[in-house]
């Protein structure tokens, strides 16, 4: 298991089925960085409680709204045009790199909060559902794909 959240996230995301599960959850409104953090906390055996969930959500929401989502929207807006315009494709690739860097910064901030939390010998399997919130019910299969993939990292 990777010790830092960024390495853990990269290793988990690279596993079969995870990208599709993440896109499904993202389309449903879930924050993938937050879910990857939840997986990481589950793997570390950190107990999940409502106060911790709220801390992670409070940190994530403004960064996601103000930084990640605008970059993602611009990247998606340019998708069709970039197929026909090499200059626009290059600019889109730069926006994509900025979006990834913004997600990396968010993961670093999430890790900064969570690394202080003590590990629990019995572990905790509630993080994904707690962080996905109401999006969890219709996407249980996608959450399970993430959970299984994380056990292999």
Structural domain for 37, as ranges: 5-151
Neighbours of 62 (CB within 10 A): 9
Residues of the chain with pLDDT under 70: 1-3, 121-125, 135-137, 153
pLDDT at 99: 97
pLDDT at 78: 97
What is the number of domains present in the chain? 1
């Amino acid at each position: 298991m990777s010790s830092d959240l960024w390495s853990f996230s990269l290793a988990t995301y690279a596993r079969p089925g995870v990208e599709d599960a993440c896109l499904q959850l993202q389309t449903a409104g879930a924050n993938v960085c937050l879910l990857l953090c939840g997986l990481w906390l589950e793997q570390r055996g950190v107990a999940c409680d409502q106060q911790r969930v709220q801390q992670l959500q409070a940190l994530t929401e403004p960064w996601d709204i103000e930084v990640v989502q605008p970059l993602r929207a611009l990247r998606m807006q340019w998708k069709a045009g970039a197929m026909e315009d090499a200059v626009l494709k290059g600019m889109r690739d730069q926006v994509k790199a900025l979006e990834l860097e913004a997600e990396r910064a968010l993961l670093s901030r999430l890790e900064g909060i969570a690394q202080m939390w003590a590990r629990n010998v019995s572990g905790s399997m509630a993080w994904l559902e707690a962080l996905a919130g109401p999006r969890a019910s219709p996407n249980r299969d996608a959450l399970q794909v993430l959970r299984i993939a994380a056990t292999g990292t």
